[in-house]
Amino acid sequence: MRCTSVHLAAAHYVRLSALAVILFCGALPADAAPRASEASCRQAVNGLISLLDAKTDNTPLYRDTYAVVVNSCGAASPPSKTTARPASRDACHDLAAALVDLIEDGKMNTAAFAKARADFAAACGPR
């Protein structure tokens, strides 16, 4: 299978996963929305990394997956009041990789993850 085919298949899978979370969580009030599992968050963040690497962070897929990660991964927390300048794709890749590391270390529901998620959200929104 060619690299492009793998990337397209992965992007399609991330899109379906993100859509399922959005559809499931969209009907509930934000404070009552169930939080995503570690496995689904790991997949979504890895999808963001793939989209950043492909320079497709200006697509609806990136926007939807970004929203899923920022709004449903980890413990619920108030929106960050900090505003950051948009980061480079390489910096965003590193911030997303840090999220994956925290998830894999079993720290998704910690203050460290919430801070890393807020840092990513502030600097790596859709272009």
Specify the residue for token string 């989209």.
51
Q: Pick from 66, 67, 59: which is nearest to 25 by CA?
A: 67
List the domain boundaries for the chain: 3-123
Q: What is the pLDDT of residues 57-113, one digit of tens each?
A: 999 999 999 999 999 999 888 766 656 678 999 999 999 999 999 999 999 999 999
3-10 contacts at long range (C-beta below 8 A, 24 or more positions apart): 7/50, 7/54, 10/47, 10/50
CA distance 60 to 126: 9
Question: What pLDDT does 78 receive?
Answer: 74
Tokens of 100: 């994956």
pTM for this structure? 0.72
Confidence band of 15 (pLDDT split at 50, 70, 90): low
Question: What pLDDT does 115 receive?
Answer: 94
Question: What pLDDT does 79 receive?
Answer: 66
The radius of gyration of the chain from alpha carbons, rounded to an integer in Å, stands at 14
pLDDT of residue 26 exceeding 60, the answer is no
DSSP 65-92: HHHHHHHHSSS--PPP----PPPPHHHH
pLDDT of residue 1 exceeding 50, the answer is no
